[in-house]
Structure 1
């Protein structure tokens, strides 16, 4: 996907879909049977429309944001780079042709940087696009264009506004709710992440009072015109001369919250609700070190006793561990929030703690009493480092060597015992634990740069011996899923709610140490790390967590959720203890999410194995798209998709679509955001899958 080649035409399996009859741009006729005596002329045939989007790019962020959304969902698209001297010319032959005597539109939708990126109203390429869109009823998105009569709007100086949009309170209109943005409750606030930086610019404009004959402008997203009682459009549909154009009058990039909220609707409008790929809003949280105590940050020495970078002689701090009340609160919080946590447990560490405290562990008893409230994931028996044997005589540590200079590794038997013993304990306690899921301590066993540039060679065999298929990795180190022996990794997002703190003041102190300059009393890491930025001044320890860190972390996590990204987040049991600092972040993520979306677009909270499978399916689908081995097209109310054998095809269709089976029908897909979608596979190799929309729809 995203290459300039057209898809291949020799598939291994076929998916046939009867798309929604209500989609106005689709001709509502069926293809003529091949056996008909009097075949119609080519001009009378219902055209074939390929399920592929044309993205014409000038390198601008607004166009690239839409392309990124297409790729994220798994929608095939072809890019024409206007800045490339060797690019193809957009003419009738590029846009359409004839296949088996039937006219073919090669693209189901067109994305342009603006309404005319070709530099002249007399452009032959612009004329070719207009003729194509008129002939085949193909919609066009203007990724970011100036408000003016050519797109159905008055100019900003005529009752509108031009300028910075940071902090604007925009809303979907009634037409937007009834149309492409029906999954939103209404509010689409424009971010103002940094008051010192202008983040968004655009034009709030009113539709023409006297549009051309037959032309209409329908606003989907609007905002108040500053200083007036009027409202003006930021996204709207301009229909005229048989063409439909989605007019976007603000700049956007793929990371901004407003784009993330609107991206689904833009793609839905562009594809008329029938396209390959699918999208969900995911948010899963895994809580590591359950039953194990976590070391505590030393606010005086700015390090964690026991860590290799903490100077010798620094006394141990009191470890952080949940109490019985903390465990009871976790269960009650889940009930109140309607959200489920994954408890990633170290039973051996819990047993050691229990033995050291008179054989009593009220916290563990409480968690086990509420065991059915949680999902449970194996985190090894005692949380050891399962990579190379660590030589801690230097800072940073290094891999120990034997007499011959070979790296010393944690043995296969040690890794296997840690996995098996912890799993067996969970089974004996009746936990909902799956042997195919594993999180190793510190994601150890996997390569850890720079000290350990390769996986422990004993890790793969141990995973195979214990049935592990889905192994957690750290997304900040490795964002892509990859093999670890026969298993696949599941990259997890670390949250800046640190493992070694139980109190808000400790969190702020460590945060200040990492994110302030040496001149401000910090470590200066933010001055040397190219991926970091220093705060202008330290946060106050009494208020900094609630006023700064919580909003920052919630915004980051919500951004992941809105990006069709299934990767889980992880925190630690220490964050559920003492000040219980994880909950304000989780509460804000969930509250903000539920404030934006209708009930039919719930946050998807998957368990570890399901996240791994989702990523695996996406990778196979993306590989097939990139290789050009997926073909999809629509003829009237029938869509045919072909993909390589063994590759499930992601497809999104209108709600109410039903699957045609040999002995009847069944619902197609899962309802989400007003559509239905699934990873579709043929009932048998080479068989067709047919989906129908009820005639009453």
Structure 2
């Protein structure tokens, strides 16, 4: 990695001359006479750096197949003409549709491997991404001391150029701000250079006397390189914004895999009250582990005004919340509070404005029968030493009774979806290392196909009988707080040192990322520190093609309505960063479950080498095992070949068309026709 302002110009010139002087193998006669087949796979040449790692993660996370060559690995394959191309059924075949390199030439001066790549790219029209390099004439840029800049980029306000907007980054709103999350830590470093002949800038930023490029296309000698002159990792927002465009540019808009920006928010415990945090006891009275909390219980519950505000907020933000409800807990609250419940009445009146999901009737623990006399709790045993479990009948009743209550109120919901209270019934380590064996049967009894799980415990989808889990991201907006001050107080307790009055968890676990050097001001800390931090975390999920929903609790819509500042920041930031062509996808849990299921099957098919996909001229062919649905991205105007005629392919998103697609009836492959 280059970390100086500029390299020695003479040395750079010699390197460029050496590369140009290497003998380039001639194209095969077949390549000159027949339209070649170009396989839909990317070649990644990896030096172990974070920039190549980030692009590799983008390929993996979006379902784009790739072959990785580890430059540091012993016995790695040699990149030569035979490695890159061959002949299939008498037709010349390019094995890779794009090449990712650590920089413009990671092999060294006079390299036969670089010469082979150069010949390959020229012959077949294959593009190359230089994941991170410095500004110099060898990549079409002036040196940084000629009107450019090199150094720290934290907080840099970069912008997509006019060429970038009409080219690979048209899905962006225009601004790309480099992260500056801490003044204590340098986060980004790079080079900005003035374009030379053959270079088209796609992303630039201000420098003294004008603007200079950070990302651009360098066309020369019959080849095209996407030149990136700043370092990054897969989690940084500036990369996440550009990642889609990098892949689309590399593949010329035709590739396996697809990407969306997903965001869904589950509001748990609707109709039920949530217990309140005690600032004095630093625990939650009513919980079994809160010593001294007996008789000091207090609860948080939405009001009718809170319910009205939720509906109004949804309309103003064009975003729908998922209301996960416990009708029986609401009925119990009403019976204990005079027999009336204006909040429930308001939500029921506005029922069509929300998405609804079963969260069980009274929110009991559906796993083992707990012994809470000690901390931590344990599972009770019978006389034979076997674990006592909640019965299948009792679990089934919790699901059925909640569904029946919803039907009686005219609330529409998808009965195939369920989130149990505290994700109970599913395994809970360390006390309950297996699912309640009665859970799968109860799910089947009620037609449940999708069961919410906690992503912080189980990030992968798995089967529970005939159902599949849908992992959910917990948000750091606590269930047991109703005000900003309570949020900051509990956050301080968890994340500050014992000397500062905290729990000391960070001293015991120094890897905890949210640790505080000093307590937050409880009057301002929530809005000034916690909200931006939590919004950044959620945005990372949104920008990473992650469909998993986030979850909070009804208490976060009550009192100070602590959830809305986080959601506002996520939605407003996203919509400022992206063009209308790339809207947030706010989908149901069932749709997310299907997405995760398809991804798992697709990734396995790729890993097993059972997918064949290629392009010949304007035709794209995808073959996969029976039952496997393939994710494909293609340019606008693409048609799908039917048995008779064609139809528009996919749905429009971010300037391209994409879809999960499979052969039509009586077809053995997917065939697309490019415009």
User: Could you say which TM-score interval applies, normalised by the shorter chain?
Assistant: over 0.9
Select which of 218, 229, 235 maps to 1:255. Answer: 235
How much does 1:255 deviate?
A: 0.3
Select which of 482, 485, 496 maps to 1:505. Answer: 485
Q: What CA distance in whole angstroms lies between the structure 1 residues aligned with 2:248 and 2:334?
A: 55
Select which of 579, 589, 595 maps to 1:608. Answer: 589
Structure 1 residue matching 2:548: 3-state secondary structure = coil
Cα separation, partners in 2 of 1:529 and 1:486, compared to 1, 3 Å: farther
Structure 1 residue matching 2:631: 3-state secondary structure = strand
Q: Which residue in 2 is equivalent to 1:387?
A: 367
How much does 1:43 deviate?
A: 3.4
**Superposed CA offset, 1:46-102 (max 9, x none):** 011000000000110000100000011100000000000110000000000111111
1:184 partnered with 2:172: yes
Structure 2 residue matching 1:615: 3-state secondary structure = helix
Aligned residues of 1:43 and 1:103 also touching (Cα < 8 A): no
Q: What CA distance in whole angstroms lies between the structure 1 residues aligned with 2:38 and 2:560?
A: 58
- Alignment RMSD (CA, Å): 1.2
Aligned residues of 1:670 and 1:676 also touching (Cα < 8 A): yes
Aligned residues of 2:147 and 2:209 also touching (Cα < 8 A): no
1:237 partnered with 2:237: no
TM-score when normalising by structure 2: 0.94
1:161 partnered with 2:141: no
Q: What CA distance in whole angstroms lies between the structure 2 residues aligned with 1:556 and 1:292?
A: 28
How much does 1:686 deviate?
A: 4.1
Aligned residues of 1:308 and 1:396 also touching (Cα < 8 A): no
**Superposed CA offset, 1:118-146 (max 9, x none):** 1x220000100001000001000000011
> Aligned runs of 1:362-381 on 2, under 5 Å?
362-381=342-361
Cα separation, partners in 2 of 1:156 and 1:41, compared to 1, 3 Å: closer
Runs of 4+ that moved beyond 6 A: none
Aligned residues of 1:297 and 1:317 also touching (Cα < 8 A): no
Q: What CA distance in whole angstroms lies between the structure 1 residues aligned with 2:227 and 2:638?
A: 30
Aligned residues of 1:657 and 1:692 also touching (Cα < 8 A): yes
How much does 1:157 deviate?
A: 2.1
How much does 1:427 deviate?
A: 1.6
1:357 partnered with 2:345: no
Q: Structure 2 stretches of 5 or more lacking a match?
A: 1-28
Select which of 169, 183, 197 maps to 2:185. Answer: 197
**Superposed CA offset, 1:1-53 (max 9, x none):** xxxxxxxxxxxxxxxxxxxxxxxxxxxxxxxxxxxxxxx96631001100000
How much does 1:685 deviate?
A: 5.4
Q: Which residue in 2 is equivalent to 1:627?
A: 608
Q: Which residue in 2 is equivalent to 1:455?
A: 435
Q: What CA distance in whole angstroms lies between the structure 1 residues aligned with 2:674 and 2:619?
A: 11
Select which of 46, 68, 73 maps to 2:62. Answer: 73
Select which of 162, 178, 200 maps to 1:174. Answer: 162
Aligned residues of 1:154 and 1:206 also touching (Cα < 8 A): yes
Q: What CA distance in whole angstroms lies between the structure 2 residues aligned with 1:685 and 1:522?
A: 66
How much does 1:659 deviate?
A: 2.3
Q: Which residue in 2 is equivalent to 1:618?
A: 599
**Superposed CA offset, 1:474-529 (max 9, x none):** 00001000111111000000000000011000000001111111111110112223
1:581 partnered with 2:570: no
1:55 partnered with 2:44: yes
Q: Which residue in 1 is equivalent to 2:551?
A: 570
Select which of 101, 108, 111 maps to 2:100. Answer: 111
Structure 2 residue matching 1:260: 3-state secondary structure = helix
Aligned residues of 2:440 and 2:466 also touching (Cα < 8 A): yes
Aligned residues of 1:42 and 1:101 also touching (Cα < 8 A): no
Q: What CA distance in whole angstroms lies between the structure 2 residues aligned with 1:153 and 1:246?
A: 12
**Superposed CA offset, 1:191-234 (max 9, x none):** 001110011110011123xx4xxxx0000000112xx1321110
Select which of 499, 505, 516 maps to 1:535. Answer: 516
**Superposed CA offset, 1:534-586 (max 9, x none):** 21101001011111111111111011000000000001000000000100100
TM-score when normalising by structure 1: 0.91
Q: What CA distance in whole angstroms lies between the structure 2 residues aligned with 1:585 and 1:91?
A: 52
Aligned residues of 1:49 and 1:633 also touching (Cα < 8 A): yes
Q: Which residue in 2 is equivalent to 1:207?
A: 195
Q: What CA distance in whole angstroms lies between the structure 2 residues aligned with 1:401 and 1:48?
A: 65
How much does 1:407 deviate?
A: 1.0
**Superposed CA offset, 1:604-654 (max 9, x none):** 001110110010001100110111110111111111111111000110010
Select which of 75, 79, 98 maps to 1:90. Answer: 79
**Superposed CA offset, 1:355-404 (max 9, x none):** 11222100000000000000100000000000111111110111111122
Q: What CA distance in whole angstroms lies between the structure 2 residues aligned with 1:655 and 1:156?
A: 38
Aligned residues of 2:662 and 2:669 also touching (Cα < 8 A): no
Q: Which residue in 2 is equivalent to 1:299?
A: 279
1:521 partnered with 2:501: yes
How many pairs align? 646
Aligned residues of 1:402 and 1:408 also touching (Cα < 8 A): yes
Q: Which deviates the most, 310-319 or 235-244?
A: 310-319
How much does 1:531 deviate?
A: 4.5
Select which of 474, 481, 497 maps to 2:461. Answer: 481
1:221 partnered with 2:203: yes
Structure 2 residue matching 1:238: 3-state secondary structure = strand
1:410 partnered with 2:399: no
Q: What CA distance in whole angstroms lies between the structure 2 residues aligned with 1:323 and 1:47?
A: 66
Structure 1 residue matching 2:92: 3-state secondary structure = strand
Q: Which residue in 2 is equivalent to 1:21?
A: none
Q: What CA distance in whole angstroms lies between the structure 2 residues aligned with 1:122 and 1:545?
A: 58
Q: Which residue in 2 is equivalent to 1:545?
A: 526
Q: What CA distance in whole angstroms lies between the structure 1 residues aligned with 2:509 and 2:383?
A: 36
Q: What CA distance in whole angstroms lies between the structure 1 residues aligned with 2:91 and 2:674?
A: 24
Structure 2 residue matching 1:492: 3-state secondary structure = strand
Q: Which residue in 1 is equivalent to 2:576?
A: 595
Aligned residues of 2:281 and 2:292 also touching (Cα < 8 A): no
Q: What CA distance in whole angstroms lies between the structure 1 residues aligned with 2:213 and 2:122?
A: 25
**Superposed CA offset, 1:657-688 (max 9, x none):** 22233344322101000001111111125434
Aligned residues of 1:645 and 1:685 also touching (Cα < 8 A): no
Q: What CA distance in whole angstroms lies between the structure 2 residues aligned with 1:136 and 1:61?
A: 29
Q: Which residue in 2 is equivalent to 1:4?
A: none
**Superposed CA offset, 1:405-424 (max 9, x none):** 11111111110000011011
**Superposed CA offset, 1:232-285 (max 9, x none):** 110000000000000000001000011111000000000000000100000000
Q: Which residue in 2 is equivalent to 1:31?
A: none
